[in-house]
Amino acid sequence: MLTPRQQMILHLIIQNYTNTGQPTGSKRLMEDGVEASSATIRNEMKALEAAGFLLKTHSSSGRVPSIQGYRYYVDHLLKPSQVGPTELQTIRHSFGKDFHEINEIIQQSATILSNLTSYTALSLGPDVKERKLTGFRIVPLNARQIIAIIVTDKGNVENQVFTLPASLSGEDLEKMVRIINDKLIGEPLMTVYHRLRTEIPMILHKYFQTTDGIVDLFDAMLSHIFEEKIFVGGRMNLLDFEPTQDVSQFKSMYSFMKNADQLTQLLAPRDQSIQIRIGSELGNDLLQNMSLIQASYEIEGHGQGTIALLGPSSMPYSRMFGLMDVFRSELASKLAEYYRTLDHSDA
């Protein structure tokens, strides 16, 4: 464990580096309130450097925090800041508009958070597994193409363009959709998914010579629903904080930020705490100078969602921690309000 004076020095160096991006020397630390001689402070900085908490950037006496230093700060010294009234008003105003489906709210949450912080925001909505099927719908585009639509009772809509097999007429497809709706509307999506793979094909075969492609279409759409959908705000903001301007590094980071699966995998298993992971804890060499703050929220009866911020390891953790705590509460409140509206309209 560090001594109180070493903790104070580490705290101040992190605070200064977050604010200015510049190394901190003993003179500045004395000005900031460390009650010790310049020589004593330099010795303390050397001890912190030897322990791995600080780094010396060049020949000057100034130091900057290391990844280990940030980790110690987050674990032992972090005190969340209070969110100011202006930021709170901005969040509530941004959530105040009318939304037509859940995914619009999740997408907006990522946009709001990235705008507030200038970092990259990741947002996953509540679980979908308990939602119920409201209906399949088919909209013809032309002689061979349709838009297939799945609607659930909680305001989620999935649509997919589908090319009809030559053996399947549009008329037969409409009849199949009517049969499927008769059998499956009102069932939980997991039940729908199971029955479409088992009994529904057998029922359809009683009425039609071929069902080529139709079960595959519904299977593909439901699989897509069950994929965790990650919405990203400020996707390219992360490139602003990458210290190296190496072209291959830039291309790798750009590619990573475009990959929804990789971004989803970045998130830790959900729990109710606010989690902060730094550098190598993110499990990706591209992110060795980055940090991720992740917060989950619970919507009673509708599952759990996650909001996260990906930014530089030098982010102002106190402010970001406080902001994430308030933000997840406001997002959960907006989603709960939306679900109540849906439940009321169904009553």
- State the CATH number of the domain containing residue 239: 3.30.450.40
Do 21 and 106 belong to one domain? Answer: no
Do 172 and 40 belong to one domain? Answer: no
pLDDT at position 143: 78
Do 158 and 99 belong to one domain? Answer: no
Residue 229 has pLDDT above 80, yes or no: no
Share of the chain above pLDDT 70, in %: 92
Do 211 and 153 belong to one domain? Answer: yes
Do 118 and 238 belong to one domain? Answer: yes
Do 208 and 173 belong to one domain? Answer: yes
For residue 180, the domain's CATH number is: 3.30.390.60
Do 157 and 145 belong to one domain? Answer: yes
Q: Domain span at residue 314?
A: 85-127+229-346
Token pair, residue 126, equals: 């509540």
| Domains held by the chain: number | 3
Do 264 and 302 belong to one domain? Answer: yes
Do 328 and 251 belong to one domain? Answer: yes
How far does CA 245 lie from the centroid of its chain? 26
Dist CA 147 CA 193 (whole Å):
19
* Average model confidence (pLDDT) across the chain: 87
pLDDT at position 61: 67
Do 273 and 219 belong to one domain? Answer: no
For residue 14, the domain's CATH number is: 1.10.10.10
Residue 116 has pLDDT above 90, yes or no: yes
SS3 content of the chain, % helix, strand, coil (to 5): 50, 20, 30
Dist CA 17 CA 289 (whole Å):
14
Residue 86 has pLDDT above 90, yes or no: yes
Calculate mean pLDDT across residues 241-267.
80
Contacts of 212 (CB under 8 A, 6+ apart): 165, 167, 168
Do 244 and 340 belong to one domain? Answer: yes
Do 233 and 332 belong to one domain? Answer: yes
Q: End of a domain among 169, 194, 226?
A: 226
Calculate mean pLDDT across residues 260-279.
85
How far does CA 334 lie from the centroid of its chain? 17
